[in-house]
Structures are given as C-alpha cells and as structure tokens.
Amino acid sequence: MSTPTITALSAPGKVLLTGGYLVLDRNYTGTVIALDARIHVVVQQLKKTHRRGVSSGSIDNANAAAEDTEESDDTIVVRSPQFVGAVWKYRIQRCTAGGGVKVVQKNEGPQNSFVETSLSYALTYISYVADSKDFGSLSLTILADNDYYSETAASRGPGAQARGGRFVNFGVPLFEAHKTGLGSSAALVTALVSALVIHRTMQPEDLGLGRDKLHNLAQAAHCAAQGKVGSGFDVATAVYGSCLYRRFSPAILESLGDAGSPGFEERLFSVVENIKSEHPWDAECVDFGMQLPRGMQLVLADVDCGSQTPSMVRKVLEWRKNNQKEADLLWTNLQNNNEKLRQELKQLAHGSQEELTAAATRDFDTVRTCLERAREYIRTMTAQSGVPIEPRVQTELLDAASAIEGVIGGVVPGAGGYDAIALLIRDDPAVIARLNSLFETWTSGVEDDFGGKIGKVRLLGVRHGSEGVKNQDLEQYRGWLE
Ligand SMILES: Nc1ncnc2c1ncn2[C@@H]1O[C@H](COP(=O)(O)OP(=O)(O)O)[C@@H](O)[C@H]1O
Ligand SMILES: C[C@@](O)(CCOP(=O)(O)OP(=O)(O)O)CC(=O)O
C-alpha cells in the first residue's frame, strides 16, 4: 500500500455527566458526553529514508525480533504551535528481542510523556502489522480547540487569530497553560495513535472498521503515559463519542509490560487485536454517538481553579472500602438515578416527531429531578468521604445557576472538586445571556467546607459534540502547518 503524504484526524473531549467514581468499578456505569472541542493531529510524510546497515523493503517479523537496537536516520518532529517552544524531536530506536520501537527525544526542553508514549506504542504496532520498520521522517502537528485551556493575555489579544482558522495562539509554554479539564490527554493520545495508524496501515475510509483496535491501542498508550489505569471513559469517548460506558477489566493491560521490553511488540499486537488473550476486552460503549434531545444543550462553566483527581480518587475508594455497606447503598442509589436520567435523555432524543416537538418546548421535568437527586447523593458522598466532590462553593454556584430561567439543572461532572461545572439548559441564546450576566459579577458568599475558593466563573464556548474520532479536511489548518 502506498503511504499518503498527509493524514489529519481529530478526537473530542469529554464530560462525565454522571457516574464519577462509580465508573471505576465494572459493576457500575457512567454517562459520558463528547464535546465539540477537539484535538487535531496532522501527520505529514517528509521523506522515506533507509535504515543504516539494513536493506530497505519488507522485513520478516521473525527476523525483526532478532534485530539489534538499531538507529535510523528518520526523525519525528512533533509541534504544538499554539504554545511557545512546544516542539519535540525524536529519533527512532528499534529494540532487541521483539521489544518494538521506541522514540527517544533528541532536543532539550520538557518531555511530553503523552506524545512520546503514543509514538512508541503506535510505531510498535504499525511496524509489527505492516511488516516494515521504515517509517520515513514524519512531521506531526497538534492543534487543540481553544476551550481546552483557560484564556491567556495572548489568546485574548489582537494577535491571537493571526494564523487564522479556529485555533488561537496562547503565547505561553504548554506547562504554563491552565487546563479546563476537558480531557486533553485522552483526546490527544487518541488522535495521535489513530492518525499514525491510519497514515501507515489503513485508508481513512477504514476508520469506522478500525475503531475497536484504535480504542485498544489508545487505552494502552494512555494508561502507560498516565502511569495508572483509570476507568478509561475519556479515551472511550475520544474514540466512540458520547456513550454509556462500562469500564474494561484492568487485567487486560496488566501484563503488557513496558515499551521496549522483550516481547513487547507481540503482546501489544495481541492487546490491540484482542486475540490470544486470557483477558479479552470487555469495555462496553452503549449507544455511542448518542445525542442530547432536541431543544437541550450542555454548557460548562470554568471556575478557574483545579482539583487533584488522583488523590480524590484514592480517598473516595479508601472510604468506600472501609464503609462498604453505606457506600454500596449510595452507589446503588446513584446508579439507579443515573440510569433513569440516561433513559429519559434517550427517550427524549429518539421519540416520535410529536414527542420531539413537545420536548423542545417542555420543561424537561424528569431530567431536572434526576439531576437534583444526583447532586443530593453526591453531597452525601462528599460529607461521608470527606472529599470535596461537591464543595459548598460549588453547591452555591450550581444552585444559583439552576435557578436561572431555562436552566434544567447541573452537576459537578467527573471527579468533581473545584473544577468546571456542567449545566443542561434549554438551547436558547437568551439562557446563555442570563448565565453570562450571573457569572459576570459572581462572588461566593459562603464559607467553603473544605477551605477552597473559586476564581472567576466563565462560561466556556464548548457544547456537546457526540462524535468520536474522525477524519478531517486539511483546509482548516491553513497557516498552522510547516
Ligand atoms: N496541545 C497539546 N500539545 C501537546 N501536548 C498536550 C496538549 N494538550 C495536552 N497535552 C498533553 O496532555 C497533558 C495533560 O494531560 P492531563 O494532565 O491528563 O490533563 P487532561 O485532564 O486535560 O487530560 C499535558 O501535560 C501534555 O503532555
Ligand atoms: C473519578 C473518575 O471516575 C472520573 C474522573 O473524571 P474527570 O473528568 O474529573 O477526570 P480528569 O480528566 O482526570 O480530571 C475517575 C475515572 O473514571 O478514571
């Protein structure tokens, strides 16, 4: 198969509307909404070189495993041009004993473990299936929709749009940018591994058929880069779009080992292709690509403050372990309520034409009640576990926002904490205007139960998007590609 010279793909961010913490356990599920904020990756083939000391062309897999850790002249340059100095240059290193392919950073400056791990995992898989180690030199460009990060002086300033299109220039190094919590790393890893696999081993039209494999590869790479196995709802959404998610069994990835370790390429291949495994993939994404009902919209309000998800997760799980009975009851109540909410949203989205028309004008009463109940249970979880999932400053904010005409209700999504809040609203610009005027002058009037503070509240421009990873036209990247 001839290699295309350029491939572009994007994957969406996420909001875990309900099921935070529950979704870590396979007995429970999470309802996750994909967003219209996406991370784009463009792969450009620069040149095809021959590896030093090895004849070009196809190499037998069996031989490949026996080969040394050979260097090639090929270089992979990854750029994130919205940020200052965000360039990572890698050389390709082939590992001994079937360890696969690893990339090694050549330039000074901070490493980017999500980029580096995605490259090593994707190239290992590609070289194994394509039966070739000749990648040629590649240039990768990452472009993120603006809502992934809080605004900066530069992104607000007159030069922000200088390069055109939908992306702004943030004018700061990536590590200084404040994330808004939309799942940048999951969208990035998904877009990166998918773009490389499509570029080298598939046609863009095969994306639909290859989705499960891309999911498995992206989950493996994301877990390795994160250094832990989360529920994976963010990667699943980046691949499949909005869905009801049941997590995969952690055992699937436990024996994969590190990139470069002996036999890694074969183990990775088995994991991605879901073969020869004692532990087959069992993640469930139901109703993927599900839409919100007509007349309803999802908005997020950034509170300019961040939470520490790993330590919150550790504490909640510890509390659950020590208070199994109470926790089980709470988990069951939350699950039942979340399921009722999902069914209601589904029915409203797929009802008959008359039902849809009625839905567009009605008050979405059941949705409102389910969101209120979810919050009550989450506040119980907060009080009992002693973890600020819905701290008082956010209770105050959610109550005030929910009282606005046209707001159906809201929650602290995902792990909660001092992070963005999610609101379901009637899809009407007047509701957005009322929310903006509430937030413009918002100052907290309560003392927080965990001593936390929220900063400037700001409605993000992001809305629900529903679609997973998809091919993209190149036109929108004009001005950003080298
Ligand atoms: N635009 C980008 N370009 C390159 N890397 C990015 C970009 N956005 C995010 N990343 C990578 O993802 C990491 C952030 O991931 P994480 O802390 O998991 O946040 P999130 O909750 O947004 O996923 C960054 O440190 C960086 O490695
Ligand atoms: C607690 C969780 O169930 C949900 C966390 O959701 P968030 O959306 O808060 O996650 P981050 O993107 O890491 O900030 C953990 C999990 O499912 O992995």
Note whether residue 465 is domain-resident: no
Give CA separation, 37 vs 108, 166, 181, in Å.
31, 11, 12
Over pLDDT 70: what percentage of the chain? 91
The answer to whether the CB of 150 is under 6 A from ligand 1 is no
- Structure-token pair, residue 302: 């950034």
Pocket of ligand 2 (CB under 6 A): 16, 20-21, 23-24, 181, 183, 230-231, 233-234, 309, 313, 414-415
Hey, which of 168, 188, 192, 234 would you mutate to test ligand 1's pocket, going by the most ligand atoms within 8 Å of its Cβ?
188
Note whether residue 338 is domain-resident: yes
**How far, in Å, is the centroid of ligand 2 from the Cα of 412?**
11
Note whether residue 53 is domain-resident: yes
**Over the stretch 23-55, which tens digit does the pLDDT of each residue have?**
999 999 999 999 999 999 999 998 765 444 433
Q: Give the separation between CA 244 and CA 238, rounded to whole angstroms.
A: 13
Hey, which of 15, 77, 114, 312 would you mutate to test ligand 1's pocket, going by the most ligand atoms within 8 Å of its Cβ?
114
**How far, in Å, is the centroid of ligand 1 from the Cα of 177?**
10
Hey, which of 14, 15, 16, 35 would you mutate to test ligand 2's pocket, going by the most ligand atoms within 8 Å of its Cβ?
16
For residue 276, pLDDT beyond 80: no
ipTM, two decimals:
0.98
Locate all alpha helices (DSSP H) within 251-352, ordered by sequence.
Answer: 251-254, 264-273, 309-322, 324-350
Note whether residue 464 is domain-resident: no
Query: Which residue's CA is the nearest one to ligand 2's atom 16?
Result: 231
The mean-pLDDT minimum among 124-128, 347-351, 441-445 falls in 347-351
Q: Looking at the structure, do residues 243 and 369 belong to the same domain, yes or no? A: no
Q: What is the CA radius of gyration of the chain?
A: 23
Confidence of residue 360 (pLDDT cuts 50, 70, 90): low
Average pLDDT over residues 354-377: 83
* CATH, residue 130: 3.30.230.10
Q: Looking at the structure, do residues 208 and 284 belong to the same domain, yes or no? A: yes
What are the phi and psi torsion angles at 104 (to 5°)?
-125, 125
Q: Looking at the structure, do residues 41 and 187 belong to the same domain, yes or no? A: yes
Q: Looking at the structure, do residues 353 and 398 belong to the same domain, yes or no? A: yes
Are the CB atoms for 456 and 304 separated by under 8 Å? yes
* CATH, residue 452: 3.30.70.890
Average pLDDT over residues 302-314: 77
Note whether residue 64 is domain-resident: yes
Nearest ligand for residue 20 CA: 2
Note whether residue 235 is domain-resident: yes
Q: Looking at the structure, do residues 265 and 307 belong to the same domain, yes or no? A: no
Note whether residue 418 is domain-resident: yes
Domain count, the chain: 2
Q: Looking at the structure, do residues 320 and 356 belong to the same domain, yes or no? A: yes
Confidence (pTM):
0.93
**Over the stretch 114-163, which tens digit does the pLDDT of each residue have?**
999 999 999 999 999 987 778 889 999 999 999 999 888 999 998 888 88
**H or E stretch at 282:** none
**How far, in Å, is the centroid of ligand 1 from the Cα of 201?**
26
Note whether residue 417 is domain-resident: yes
Q: Looking at the structure, do residues 340 and 410 belong to the same domain, yes or no? A: yes
Q: Looking at the structure, do residues 270 and 383 belong to the same domain, yes or no? A: no
Confidence of residue 361 (pLDDT cuts 50, 70, 90): low
For residue 435, pLDDT beyond 50: yes
Residue 352 structural domain: 296-459
Q: Looking at the structure, do residues 193 and 266 belong to the same domain, yes or no? A: yes
Position 289 scores a pLDDT of: 76
Q: Give the separation between CA 205 and CA 241, rounded to whole angstroms.
A: 18
Q: Looking at the structure, do residues 284 and 366 belong to the same domain, yes or no? A: no
C-alpha 116, offset from chain centre: 17
Position 67 scores a pLDDT of: 40
Nearest ligand for residue 28 CA: 2
Position 55 scores a pLDDT of: 34
For residue 210, pLDDT beyond 70: yes
Sheet architecture: strand order including 296-302: 407-411, 421-426, 296-302, 458-459
Q: Looking at the structure, do residues 328 and 270 belong to the same domain, yes or no? A: no
Nearest ligand for residue 310 CA: 2
Q: Looking at the structure, do residues 322 and 281 belong to the same domain, yes or no? A: no
